[in-house]
Chain A
Amino acid sequence: MSDAAMVLGTADRLMADQCDDATVRSARRGAWPASLWNAIAQMGLPLALVPEGSGGFGLDPVDAFALARLAGRHALPLPLGETMAANQALALAGLPLAEGPAAFIPVESGLVLRDGRITGTADRVPWGATVGTLVVEYLLGGARHVARLDSGWRVAESGTNIAHMPRDRLSIDAAITATAPAQGHPLYLMGAGLRVLQIAGALDQVLDLSIAHVSDRKQFGRALATFQAIQHELARMAGEAAAAGAAAGLAAEALAEAAGDPMLSVAAARIRSAEAASVATGVAQQLHGAIGFTQEHRLHWYTSALWSWRDEYGGPHHWTQCLGAAALAVGRDGFWPFVVAA
């Protein structure tokens, strides 16, 4: 077995074991799942995207992104992907890595550097009230830079997404000590890509839950799974899960590549995975019947997470505008080469 397969297998088992009902429910009520984070951190997973020479453990970035897919599959109530991306940005800029959970703030938030201080407001920062490190992306002379902050912000407003994952508004006014030109991909693209991976993982799980439900549940004297109408809906869901899986692979490969601009690939992956999330959750909710519309069944963790993730870091409008404009710009004869290049 390769090292990567071993890391992914171990992470999968760890998340399956420790991301249990009680942990997820308590996290959804606002508690920080410290022991779960410690287990994840002990495995080194927050460093998965960090190059080996900068403190990482030499995992191929495509495999590191697969960890985000696993996090989606297990409804992990932690900013694992966010911390992985934050640490990668720090490492590539030659700045010290975060000690614990971290958040990144993309340049789109509009934070500014003036007189040696970073100031502004960042909305909907994942676990913003919990993280100990912020990686802030800002423009300096037209070029992206990253700064590492350990303090200098306060929580202006606490909030969550509809899956009860913290999304906090931070008011930042910090003297910067460590800053450098950004070397990696734009953080907004990293965020969008991570959501694609999480969606793919969650859809794998939603498909499994749906298969299990229609196999167990009997109506009219037979298992729901024996009805052709149910089988065909499950098949449709499997197609959407497969499309999201392709989107995950595309986004991971594009973001793993240091050279080149991953934007169009991320846009395509984002559009298609968001659509897959919509269609497949619709089918899953329908197949689960009334029990799926309660908080007694764990389906709601996944559907509400999918409904959040599909709109974070740009929803379908943002990404279709971006990809559509690029496609229209190349025109009739350029269109097929454009599709092949993504």
Chain B
Amino acid sequence: MNPIRFATPPRHEAAEALRHDVRAFLHDRLAHVPPIRRADSWTGVDKDFTRAMGARGWLGMTWPRCYGGHERSAFERYVVMEETLAAGAPVGAHWIGDRQSGPTLLKFGTEAQRRAVLPRIAAGQAMFCIGMSEPDSGSDLAATRTSARRTAQGWRINGTKVWTTGAHQSDYMILFCRTSGTPADRHAGTSQLLIDLHATPGIAIRPIIDLAGQHHFNEVHFDDALAPLDALIGQEGDGWNQVMSELAFERSGPERFLSSMQLIVELIAVLGKGHGDLTRAAIGRLSAHLIILRRRSRGVAAMLDAGENPALHAAIVKDLGAVFEQSVPDIARGLIDAEPDLAARADYNAVLAKIVMNAPSWSLRGGTREILRGIIARGLGVRG
């Protein structure tokens, strides 16, 4: 048997040079954003900010120039991602499009789809959401029921998607649905469609308020919605394989271990200068975990850059990252007595409240802990 080998992240001079520019931009741009907003992590939406990122060439960074991209390396893109997240920038309007939907279109989309949509994502002018989960199929994606039937007028779509982050603010959805057969067929007969949320009749979007009182989630109903036939992404019936290849992009990035970063920095601010052994031990341990997670995550980026499919490695990074992120609130609570309060004047109390109340989602979104551990077990050869 062989150990699971991760690539060694290279030292990348161009990426390090870029880091300074990104930090300067964020320092300026976020000067007046309060800590509680920064704690939104990648769910904070600010379309002006996203357009400013696009104007600087920091979206679609690795894509070909003919689609509005900038043909830069995965490592330069990684620097932009991690710096924006670490600073608590409102990246929500471009996060999904830049990370996942854009690469899916680049890989499987038609030439017309690429020409029409990718430049807009790269310019920060098209926000995406992902239509995967359904009321009866969350982790069990293959049980998808939403159907799209080919008709003379186009794809006739019926069904309901749920937990769709940002659907109410998005311009497009990549819809995972069944274009033939029944849910009993599992992976077979599924496809992906590019849905223009502004131009598709028959779609209703309803808010779902989360534990923290926020509106990020939505329920998206398709009631005889009609999409043009050229909305199909890739091959009809190949949706499952296409979605699986997306997941390495979705699971290994710095967003998988930086969700509680703002609580860590506010904690350090509150702890100030005088501290004892217990505090140093806790902060030392948090630092070590962050440093090591970052190295592992950059190792996956190196593998993606080399054209490998590190789905197993990405699952490991996401699982470790979520455990770490979720451990932070209790560690902080052990160091500082503070009551969590979203409306508190004190930044620390407000950030604590937001992080405590968002934390359960981190081991659910993008693949639950149980799904990830199943993928890892399969990678270890102990699961058929």
Q: Which residues of the partner chain A approach B313 to less than 8 Å between Cβ atoms?
A: 242
B residues near A (Cβ < 8 Å) are: 1, 3-6, 8, 19, 82, 86-87, 261, 264-266, 268-269, 271, 273, 275, 277, 279-296, 299, 313, 316-317, 319-320, 323, 370, 372-374, 376-377, 379-383
Closest to B320 in A: A239
Asked if A208 is at the interface (CB within 8 A of a chain B CB), the reply is yes
CA distance A246 to B6 in the complex (A): 8
**Extra A-B contacts (15), CB below 8 Å, given A214-B382, A336-B265, A339-B291:** A211-B1, A231-B373, A231-B382, A231-B383, A232-B370, A232-B373, A236-B373, A243-B296, A247-B292, A249-B8, A321-B277, A331-B269, A332-B268, A339-B86, A339-B287
- CB proximity to B under 8 Å, residues A247-263: 247, 249-250, 253
CA distance A267 to B294 in the complex (A): 15
SS of B interface (majority): helix
- CB proximity to B under 8 Å, residues A236-294: 236, 238-239, 241-243, 245-247, 249-250, 253, 265, 267-272, 275
Q: Is B280 in contact with A238, judged by CB distance below 8 angstroms? A: no
Would you list the 8 A-B pairs with minimal beta carbon distance, nearest first? A324-B284, A320-B284, A324-B280, A231-B377, A271-B288, A235-B376, A235-B373, A332-B269
Q: Which residues of the partner chain B approach A211 to less than 8 Å between Cβ atoms?
A: 1, 380-382
Q: Which residues of the partner chain A approach B265 to less than 8 Å between Cβ atoms?
A: 332-333, 335-336
In the complex with contacts A234-B382, A268-B291, A239-B281 CB distance below 8 A:
no
**Distance between A280 CB and nearest chain B CB, rounded to angstroms:** 12
Closest to B382 in A: A225
CA distance A236 to B6 in the complex (A): 17
Q: Which residues of the partner chain A approach B323 to less than 8 Å between Cβ atoms?
A: 239
Asked if A338 is at the interface (CB within 8 A of a chain B CB), the reply is yes
Q: Which residues of the partner chain A approach B376 to less than 8 Å between Cβ atoms?
A: 234-235, 238-239
Q: Is B292 in contact with A238, judged by CB distance below 8 angstroms? A: no
Q: Which residues of the partner chain B approach A333 to less than 8 Å between Cβ atoms?
A: 265
Q: Is A324 in contact with B320, judged by CB distance below 8 angstroms? A: no
Asked if A328 is at the interface (CB within 8 A of a chain B CB), the reply is yes
Q: Is B290 in contact with A339, judged by CB distance below 8 angstroms? A: yes
In the complex with contacts A238-B376, A241-B4, A336-B265, A320-B296 CB distance below 8 A:
no
Asked if A342 is at the interface (CB within 8 A of a chain B CB), the reply is yes
6 residue pairs from A and B, CB less than 8 Å apart:
A235-B377, A238-B380, A243-B320, A250-B291, A269-B292, A331-B268
Q: Is B320 in contact with A317, judged by CB distance below 8 angstroms? A: no
Interface residue count on the A side (C-beta < 8 Å): 54
Q: Which residues of the partner chain A approach B280 to less than 8 Å between Cβ atoms?
A: 320-321, 324-325, 328
Q: Which residues of the partner chain B approach A212 to less than 8 Å between Cβ atoms?
A: 1
Other-chain residue from B3, B271, B316 in contact with A204 (beta carbon distance below 8 A): B3
**Distance between B166 CB and nearest chain A CB, rounded to angstroms:** 26
**Distance between B318 CB and nearest chain A CB, rounded to angstroms:** 10
Q: Which residues of the partner chain B approach A235 to less than 8 Å between Cβ atoms?
A: 319, 372-374, 376-377, 380
In the complex with contacts A214-B382, A231-B373, A328-B283, A250-B295 CB distance below 8 A:
yes
SS of A interface (majority): helix
Q: Which residues of the partner chain A approach B5 to less than 8 Å between Cβ atoms?
A: 245
Q: Which residues of the partner chain A approach B86 to less than 8 Å between Cβ atoms?
A: 336, 339
Q: Which residues of the partner chain B approach A316 to less than 8 Å between Cβ atoms?
A: 281, 285
Q: Is A323 in contact with B3, judged by CB distance below 8 angstroms? A: no
Q: Which residues of the partner chain B approach A41 to less than 8 Å between Cβ atoms?
A: none
Q: Which residues of the partner chain A approach B279 to less than 8 Å between Cβ atoms?
A: 324, 328
Other-chain residue from B268, B284, B294, B320 in contact with A242 (beta carbon distance below 8 A): B320
**Distance between B20 CB and nearest chain A CB, rounded to angstroms:** 11
Q: Is A242 in contact with B370, judged by CB distance below 8 angstroms? A: no
Asked if A43 is at the interface (CB within 8 A of a chain B CB), the reply is no
Q: Which residues of the partner chain A approach B320 to less than 8 Å between Cβ atoms?
A: 239, 242-243
Asked if A319 is at the interface (CB within 8 A of a chain B CB), the reply is yes
Closest to A322 in B: B284
- CB proximity to B under 8 Å, residues A159-177: none
Q: Which residues of the partner chain B approach A238 to less than 8 Å between Cβ atoms?
A: 4, 316, 376, 379-380
CA distance A339 to B290 in the complex (A): 7
CA distance A269 to B296 in the complex (A): 12
In the complex with contacts A339-B290, A339-B294, A328-B268 CB distance below 8 A:
yes
